[in-house]
Amino acid sequence: MENVVITVARGFGSGGKELSLRLAEELGINCYENRILTLASQLSGYDESEFVKEDEKLSGGVFASFLNKLPIIREPRPERKEFVHNWELFDYQAKIIRDLADTESCVIVGKCADYVLRGRKNVISVYIEAPRPYCRERIMRKMNIGPAEADELISKTDKYRAEYYQHYTGGNYWTNPVNYDLTLNSEKVGQDNCIEIIKHYISIKFPDVKFEGKKK
């Protein structure tokens, strides 16, 4: 086996994205999240803003950019029909994810990558979650907002991610632990230990695969 792919799904505020970047750095491989949007745009010919618009809903960006300016407003529940128009965009992203898995070792954050790459023997899927108080504190510090705003942002973003995942995976549940090789609580385990556990699991599942390690 020449390459290994680690997919990371994460609850908003759990630190899963930062953890993924550090893991990729320590292994000496690429970490893909927003770069997938650029690659999908280049492949499809669609303007990258179309992909970014959808991705912002998954990352909290739509809400985050307005939180300090606007009162909290409860948005209507995203209906499944909202996603129907985006199937073509999703298919382009899925093709990029499959191509990456075929060609290089990497970490892929979000984008239903665990589902897109299901059944592949060179893939490890990880889900990172943490209790609400921990996520709230991280979001408050990172975005300089209050607890009520942080809670609203976490709820809306995770709700949208769950519905997005359920739609594009044919009804699967984003937080179901059986979807993943590893499910880790980033508060109880700690960011550093999460990374070490993932690295150790890689060495168990793929004992013959060697990584270059952190680039100096």
Q: Is the pLDDT of residue 180 over 60?
A: yes
Bigger pLDDT: 168 or 58? 168
Residue 98 lies in a domain: yes
Residue 58 lies in a domain: yes
Q: Is the pLDDT of residue 203 over 60?
A: yes
DSSP E strand stretches across 68-122: 106-109
Q: Is the pTM of this model over 0.85?
A: no
Say how far apart CA 55 and CA 48 lie, in whole Å: 11
Say how far apart CA 123 and CA 184 lie, in whole Å: 17
Mean pLDDT over the full length of the chain: 80
How much of the chain exceeds pLDDT 70, in percent? 73
Token pair 């299901």 is at which residue?
118
Nearest partner of 111 among 182, 209, 4, 16, judged by Cα = 16
Bigger pLDDT: 71 or 208? 208
Range of the domain at 92: 5-205
Residue 210 lies in a domain: no
Total domains in the chain come to 1
Residue 211 lies in a domain: no
Residue 116's domain is classified under what CATH number?
A: 3.40.50.300
Q: What is the DSSP string of 122-150?
A: TEEEEEEE--HHHHHHHHHHHHT--HHHH
Residue 214 lies in a domain: no
Residue 69 lies in a domain: yes
pLDDT tens digits, 135-179: 999 999 998 999 999 999 999 889 988 888 888 888 889 999 999
Residue 216 lies in a domain: no
Residue 188 lies in a domain: yes
